[in-house]
Structure 1
Amino acid sequence: MKKITLVLLFGLFTQLSFSQNWDWGGPVDPLQQKFEVRHYRLELELLPETQSIQGSNTVTFSASEKLDTLRLNLIEAYQVSIVLMDGKEVQFNHQNDILDIFPIDCTCDQVQVFYGGKTPIAVNPPWEGGFTWEKDQLGNHWMGLSSQGEGSQIFMPGLDHPSSEPSEGVDIIITVPKPYFVASNGRQVETVVKNEKVTYHWSTSYPINVYNINFTMGIFHEEKMDFLSVSGALVPMHVWVLQENRNKAKSLLEVLKTSTETQEKYFGAFPFPEDKIAVVETPYLGMEHQTINAYGNNFQFVQLGKVQYDWLLHHELGHEWFGNKVSVGDWADMWIHEGLTAYGDWLFYWEHGGPEAYFTKVKSESKNIPHARPVVGPINSTEEQAYHPEIYTKGAMVIHSLRGILGDESFFPMLKAFASDERFTYQNLVNTNDFIEFVQAYSGKNLQGFFHLYLYSTDLPRLKVSKKGKSKYSISLQGIAFEMPLEVLTSEGIQRIIAGSKEVDVLSTTPPVVDPSGWMMMKR
């Protein structure tokens, strides 16, 4: 999800009550364990005057056995009019946000659901999501969709679980009144104008998490270029902004280019080169929709070194690597999305502001961590259970501390290798244990104690420094059963010790400063 400056974000967590009670994740429904979705073909008409949608979704699936019930998720706010399999109507039951379809006696691997109705209105997007119907300053309709907290059930029937990504992607075909435009995932296949309506067909080339399926309607100004990826691929890069902001579009495109170059340096080539790199201006702050990130930060660029920086754009773009390419199947592990992406925000400071800017940023963010909840949630968490502020800042601090332990020579190649490992990318989902095992195998270090302390508990080691004689001090970390490296600034300069519950002596004619750069989380 979006990072709202990690301070502003914290203040907004009190609003995460999801007043409409839509949540998703948790255990996979037993009926939904019996099939896998391969593809969605979403065909909708957006009706801005009535704030409603009308159309169909065709679900292509595979199952190892004949299904008596094909269970999909769709909120009750929509009216399902007809369901087809093999061109024939089939019976269905739609209640309690569940759409149960009873297949006919066939070998069908597709079902088409026709539905429509008034859209749920976002109460506080993107935290309490839904549809946001606004008008721009010129009086034109402007619609945005946000659904990370609620899932795709608020706009289409499907298998609504983070572990379900259609392996063959999605086609999104949206019809709107002329002269409106619709920006969506993937690449634009065609545009069809008929009478007073225009239809836009978008298609993805990669698996996609259902909450990342998205579309935004408005009258936009476009700026574009071809981005040369480190992979050698030329990737289309687009920004779409409201007409009233057209004079800011070229600057936004340049900011997007700089952020993409920075992300690629540390995490590897852009993950979706067959689609595009893009942002679209939305009537809410932001969200990491795959290849069409929502942007609503009002062009608040700041100078960092020689470049312009937009924290919102950079954060959402970072999710293309962690969240969209590397995806979790259980929201319990959401910190992998948010913590690694938030750490990527800090790396922008390292890259363009230098070490001083980086460590200042780290100290500023880390001092507000309450250590109130474990970073990793209970197994089979729902989105609402798993989403809390520490998956951002403490998750990022775990990665920062890991850098301090491993050293840059091992740490940076490790990050890039993890983001490129076929076992954990695209349709191959990842969990926290996968990450821990990967880091340990890559580094050759036993880090179980470190990860257990910082990811699964709220405890912190307590630093103890005792003076022993005129120029000797002992240093220990109380409350842990493992050791980790610490930097110590003494009268002779920086030295590195291996600290644990046993005291380690250092020589210094002045009181030593332990961990002066702030690599580790501890009570001082």
Structure 2
Amino acid sequence: MIKRIVLAFLLIGTFQFSHAQKNWDWGGPIDPLQKQFEVLHYKLDLAINPDERSIEGSATVTFEAEEKLEILRLNLIDEYKVTQVLMNGDAVEFTHSNDILDIRPIDCTCNSVEIFYSGVTPIAINPPWNGGFTWEKDGFGNHWMGLSSQGEGAKIFMPALDHPSSEPREGVDLYFTVDHPYFVAANGTLVETEKMGDKVRYHWSTSYPINNYNINFTLGVFHSLKDVFISSSGAEVPIEVIILKENEAKAAAIMEVLKVSTATHEKYFGAYPWPNDKVAIVETPYLGMEHQTINAYGNNYQFVPMGNTQYDWLLHHELGHEWFGNKVSVGDWADMWLHEGITAYGDWLFYYEHGGMESYLEKAKEVGMGIPHDKPVVGKINSTEEEAYHSEIYTKGAFVMHSLRWVLGDDVFFPFLLALASDERFTYQNQIDTDEFISFVQEFSGQDLADFLNLYLRTTKLPQVKISAKGKNSYQIKLDGIKFEIPVEVQTSEGIQRIMLGNKKVKVSSTSAPVVDPNGWLMLKQ
């Protein structure tokens, strides 16, 4: 307890200090100039210099526009110096200020621009919540660098159309040049390793759509353990753990944890979304983050037994984002709960799968007791990341899914979850919002659940349980504050019954006072 209190004060101090620094945010209303084009592909070609904590190189942005652009507006923080911008091999005019890079395209049919830039990287103050670059040394004195940018966007490391609605549908190619013996782990597939004297150049590539903050790279002297994961789709997917050389002896154990978590997610969310790339984690000098096909892992191998297997909450949670957050993603941070809430619910499903129903319900009760109901789960339209991000998008978002399971029943809920994660309207280059989620629930189940879902997602109100004795062995129960009915468990002297409750009184017979929702399926005021 003392350690937790000390840590809390340290985090509060760090948080206050971080706000004294420059605060990068992203999302909100998209810039009108950025509505005029779509990014198709990014190529990043960088030299990473750990001694100077700097990067230098170029980024090539391939885009598509229906009409000729007067200005191609990208985002790049002012901490980097842009030295040249080329289009079709010719230098073009640009301005760079206020974290905006405005490029004046030349009159040509070309659809790509190459930007040369360099600079000292922004340092993460409290990663991954206040992100940036984290530069550390491993136990052997080697440089160890991690990058986190969910709260800041890609502009802290590359020029980008930095809005959550923008995902390059043709993926990214990433080139990194570093001193030997350093390795750089990144998204997709390692296409080539080129040795150049005392330097090494790595080329990573993915052809899948990818959100800007999921583009990532980590530098260190690593040990790699590779294997093949047989997906539920039948695909043979490369699986890899990339960990510090000093932790080599732990590779086999964390590989097994990764395989079990992947298989568990596949059971409830469907086949692994990136079979042509890889399932992978890389050890980072901060806690963790979902980076498509290369999840950051910094939980120090804190496995706990769960049934007949081992559980690592951090590894499992970030891996779950491969489905919800990376494959199924939102274009407005107002709907961030669809990333975090459903993925957090996937954590509960590990308890269900490996610990059983009792373990699952205990987890739900534990989380439910800690929800303050201070903020709506769904933010205002055109939210920035900072406006949308708070604890209840995880906890209450997960509890909404838990309650939905109860209302729909397992025979409908679990097929619904699989269908949601595979519907082409919401996956890969397409995105989803809360209204579409609610419509899909109703479409799939055939039930009118809009009022139920909107109550929990868009308000902080909870139904109030009212129980009144009416004569001997008779009680009346209702839920104040709602205009719809929901199924509720009620425990009486005769056992547990499933009763439809709303704002009209329902009579039950019992020789003892009834208990409403004894297993904790719903968020209610008791």
**Which interval holds the TM-score relative to the shorter structure?**
over 0.9
Secondary structure at the residue paired with 1:20? coil
Taking structure 1 as reference, are residues 143 and 90 closer, same or farther at Cα in structure 2, changes over 3 Å only? same
Contact kept in structure 2, 1:54 and 1:117, CA below 8 Å: yes
Q: Distance in 2 between matches of 1:10 and 1:301?
A: 27
- Pairwise mapping of residues 107-506 of structure 1 onto structure 2 (< 5 A)? 107-506=109-508
1:99 is matched with which residue? 101
Q: Distance in 2 between matches of 1:56 and 1:65?
A: 26
Contact kept in structure 2, 1:478 and 1:500, CA below 8 Å: yes
Alignment length (residue pairs): 518
Q: Distance in 2 between matches of 1:505 and 1:351?
A: 37
Q: CA deviation at 1:448?
A: 1.3
* Post-superposition CA distance 1:110-152 (Å, at most 9, x none): 0000000100010111111000010001000000000000000
Q: Distance in 2 between matches of 1:344 and 1:474?
A: 37
Letter in 1 for 2:503: S
Task: Identify the structure with bigger relative contact order (alpha carbons < 8 Å, sequence gap 6+).
Answer: 1
Contact kept in structure 2, 1:37 and 1:165, CA below 8 Å: yes
Letter in 2 for 1:491: S
* Post-superposition CA distance 1:407-441 (Å, at most 9, x none): 00000000000000000000101100010000001
Q: Distance in 2 between matches of 1:501 and 1:433?
A: 25
* Post-superposition CA distance 1:359-409 (Å, at most 9, x none): 111101110100000000000000000000000000000000000100000
Instruction: State the TM-score, normalizing by the size of structure 2.
Output: 0.97
Q: Distance in 2 between matches of 1:225 and 1:464?
A: 57
* Greater mean deviation of Cα atoms: 463-472 or 214-223: 463-472
Q: Distance in 1 between matches of 2:492 and 2:408?
A: 22
1:28 is matched with which residue? 30
Q: CA RMSD in A?
A: 1.5
Q: Distance in 2 between matches of 1:192 and 1:342?
A: 40
Contact kept in structure 2, 1:9 and 1:389, CA below 8 Å: no
Q: CA deviation at 1:451?
A: 1.2
Q: Distance in 1 between matches of 2:411 and 2:207?
A: 34
Q: Distance in 1 between matches of 2:147 and 2:41?
A: 21
Instruction: State the TM-score, normalizing by the size of structure 1.
Output: 0.97
Q: Distance in 1 between matches of 2:443 and 2:389?
A: 29
Letter in 2 for 1:464: K
Q: Distance in 2 between matches of 1:357 and 1:177?
A: 48
Secondary structure at the residue paired with 1:422? coil
Q: Residue 39 in 1 paired to residue 41 in 2? A: yes
Contact kept in structure 2, 1:238 and 1:279, CA below 8 Å: yes
Letter in 2 for 1:310: D
Q: CA deviation at 1:208?
A: 0.0
Q: Distance in 2 between matches of 1:417 and 1:496?
A: 27
Q: Distance in 1 between matches of 2:480 and 2:185?
A: 54
* Post-superposition CA distance 1:218-263 (Å, at most 9, x none): 0001111100000000000000110111111110000000000000
Q: Residue 80 in 1 paired to residue 85 in 2? A: no
Q: Distance in 2 between matches of 1:473 and 1:433?
A: 38
Q: Distance in 2 between matches of 1:518 and 1:193?
A: 59
Percent identity over the alignment is 67
Letter in 2 for 1:482: F
Consecutive unaligned residues of structure 2, counting only runs of 5 or more, are: none
* Post-superposition CA distance 1:22-43 (Å, at most 9, x none): 0000001000000000000000
Q: CA deviation at 1:513?
A: 1.2
Consecutive unaligned residues of structure 1, counting only runs of 5 or more, are: none
Q: CA deviation at 1:205?
A: 2.3
Letter in 1 for 2:328: V
Secondary structure at the residue paired with 1:66? coil
Q: Distance in 2 between matches of 1:508 and 1:365?
A: 30
* Post-superposition CA distance 1:86-108 (Å, at most 9, x none): 00000000000000000111111
* Post-superposition CA distance 1:473-514 (Å, at most 9, x none): 111000111110101111111111100000011111111111
Letter in 2 for 1:306: N
Contact kept in structure 2, 1:13 and 1:388, CA below 8 Å: no
Letter in 2 for 1:393: T
2:517 is matched with which residue? 515
